[in-house]
Amino acid sequence: MIKKAEKVNEFLKKTFPHVHCALDFSNPLELLVATILSAQCTDERVNKVTPVLFKKYKTAADFANADSEEFMNEIHSTGFYRNKAKNIINAAKKISEDFNGIVPDTMENLVSLPGVARKTANIILGTAYGKNDGIAVDTHVKRLSGRIGLTKETDPVKIERDLMKIIPQSDWTDFSHRLITHGRKICNARKPDCNNCGMNSICLFFKSNL
């Protein structure tokens, strides 16, 4: 498994040497809000909503004091807007009250925020703070790590645990970004382009469909 992981990691590094988060942001607070909005929504849609949002709400206090009905209307197009609005406003309140208005930079404190689980926390830590504390497991990472054969688990927390054992910690954040990029460009959910995938020689999914 470790040898396969090394081959996958090296292939992704060579294929996608320069990766970044697909969400547009300029500080940890903006990334937190954008990540919460991205649940069950495309990054492209979120990036269309956030420019106006970030001009209006610049601090945690701004989000904390937002009118819930007005805020729901502003994020309506991202889906699940009631729950997202509630989580963002309540997370902002906790950040304002407990963390001096600054998005925390530890896993323990991040997951204490409403609407923030390990995936979101890993994105904040790795992308905004440069801390490789874990591997963000979104739908792409879940799908590809299973298809390739890096894990047999289906639960994101267990998948992350498996990946952390076989991917060097220094690569955790970029590994997630690269796997997501590969998932969008080649190994999509409905019709993976296996013939044009540089990993098909070591991919469990490809071999099982020969």
The one catalytic residue among 84, 119, 162, 174: 119
Q: Which residue has the tokens 């071999």?
A: 207
Is there a catalytic annotation at residue 142? Answer: no
| Separation between Cα atoms, residue 38 and residue 79, nearest integer Å | 9
Other residues' Cβ atoms within 10 Å of the Cβ of residue 10: 10
Half-sphere exposure of 197 (CA within 13 A, CB side): 27
Secondary structure (3-state) at 20: coil
Contact status, residue 140 vs residue 180, Cβ threshold 8 Å: yes
Secondary structure (3-state) at 101: coil
Is there a catalytic annotation at residue 138? Answer: yes
| Separation between Cα atoms, residue 92 and residue 147, nearest integer Å | 37
DSSP per-residue letters across 109-130: HHTTSTT--HHHHHHIIIIIS-
The one catalytic residue among 67, 94, 131, 138: 138
Q: What residue type is 174 in one-letter code?
A: D
Contact status, residue 66 vs residue 57, Cβ threshold 8 Å: yes
Residues labelled catalytic: 119, 138
